[in-house]
Amino acid sequence: MIAVLQRVRSARVDVDGQTVGAIGPGLLVLVCAEQGDTEAEGGTLLAKILKLRIFSDAHGKMNLSVQDMDGAGTVGGLLIVSQFTLAAETRGGNRPSFKQAAAPDEGRRLYDLFVERARQSHPVVQTGQFAAHMQVHLVNDGPVTIPLRVAPPARASTAQ
């Protein structure tokens, strides 16, 4: 699975002019399931996201995770948005190929499970709408943007 994290002061997702998810300070998480991904990759990716220390402590150092923000007086939110285009392959020509993205039904299943686990592990979780045309609005904080990839064992061994 692939994720791109953006540390935000606020973010929201609109579909057809209606806000479907919004957070204050926290993480905008763009997430994509790829072919061969399983529940295990989603769990590993979520654990990494929740523990990644990219928020500033009292001394201005990136020492806090989104979960640690609660101790700093703010509960950090997660806004999770499905984005199959993260699987884009651009080496062959000018039109991206998305053949590495999971099939829509499998992508939805893995995305829904990822969101469900996030809601079990974190108090503030909002989402976009799977397979919808969305407008994502954000105020990036820093900016801090972090790409993450958790590959199934077969891909992980060949990716080096």
The answer to whether residue 130 is catalytic is no
Number of domains in the chain: 1
Task: Indicate whether 153 pLDDT > 90.
Answer: no
The CATH number of whichever domain residue 136 belongs to comes to: 3.50.80.10
Sign of the alpha-carbon torsion through 143, 11, 77, 128: negative
The answer to whether residue 55 is catalytic is no
6, 67, 83, 127: the active-site residue: 83
* Tens digits of residue pLDDT in 71-122: 556 779 999 999 999 999 999 889 999 999 999 999 999 999 999 999 999 9
Q: What residue numbers bound the domain in which 66 lies?
A: 2-155
Task: Indicate whether 54 pLDDT > 80.
Answer: yes
Segment 121-125 mean pLDDT = 95
Which run of H or of E encompasses 41? helix 39-51
Task: Indicate whether 125 pLDDT > 90.
Answer: yes
Kindly state whether residue 23 falls inside one of the protein's structural domains: yes
pLDDT reported for residue 70:
62
pLDDT reported for residue 69:
81
Kindly state whether residue 151 falls inside one of the protein's structural domains: yes
Task: Indicate whether 56 pLDDT > 60.
Answer: yes
Q: Which residues of 4-39 are buried (b: 16+ CB within 10 A; e: fewer)?
A: bbbbbebbbbbeeeeebbebebbbbbbbbbbeebee
pLDDT reported for residue 139:
97
Kindly state whether residue 79 falls inside one of the protein's structural domains: yes
Segment 56-68 mean pLDDT = 92
Average pLDDT over the chain, rounded to an integer: 92
The answer to whether residue 145 is catalytic is no
Q: What is the pTM of this model?
A: 0.92
55, 67, 84, 114: the active-site residue: 84
Which are the contacts of 64, defined by CB distance < 8 A and separation ≥ 6?
Answer: 53, 54, 55, 56, 57, 71, 72
pLDDT reported for residue 62:
94
Kindly state whether residue 25 falls inside one of the protein's structural domains: yes
Kindly state whether residue 160 falls inside one of the protein's structural domains: no
Sole residue written with tokens 């503030």: 124
19, 85, 135, 145: the active-site residue: 85
Kindly state whether residue 90 falls inside one of the protein's structural domains: yes
